[in-house]
Amino acid sequence: MSFLSVTVEEPIGVDHCITIEEMGEGGVQAVCSCGWQSPVFGSDTTTGTMDPLQTATDAGDLHEWDMSLR
């Protein structure tokens, strides 16, 4: 008995819908419908003076752009 296995590597169309979620303590995170999550921004001072909400939004935009190139 023999079996034939074929794997087709075609991209599966996934819609990427980004939402910004509050994580408490001033932290925010970008979350995508595909399961991707950004780091939590705003819970510490490592991002400097940039607004945590803007940083999370930019991370989400970058994720959508990166996924559009695939």
* pLDDT (0 to 100) of residue 33: 92
Kindly report the pTM of this predicted structure: 0.70
* pLDDT (0 to 100) of residue 64: 92
Per-residue pLDDT 10s for the chain (70 aa) are 455 544 445 556 678 899 999 988 888 999 999 999 999 998 766 656 578 899 999 999 999 999 988 7
Q: How far apart are the first and last CA of the chain?
A: 38
Judged on CB neighbours under 10 Å (0-12, 13-18, 19+), 31 is middle
Enumerate the domain spans of the chain.
Answer: 18-68
* pLDDT (0 to 100) of residue 43: 73
Q: What CA–CA distances, in Å, run from 12 to 59, 65, 67, 69? A: 23, 16, 11, 13
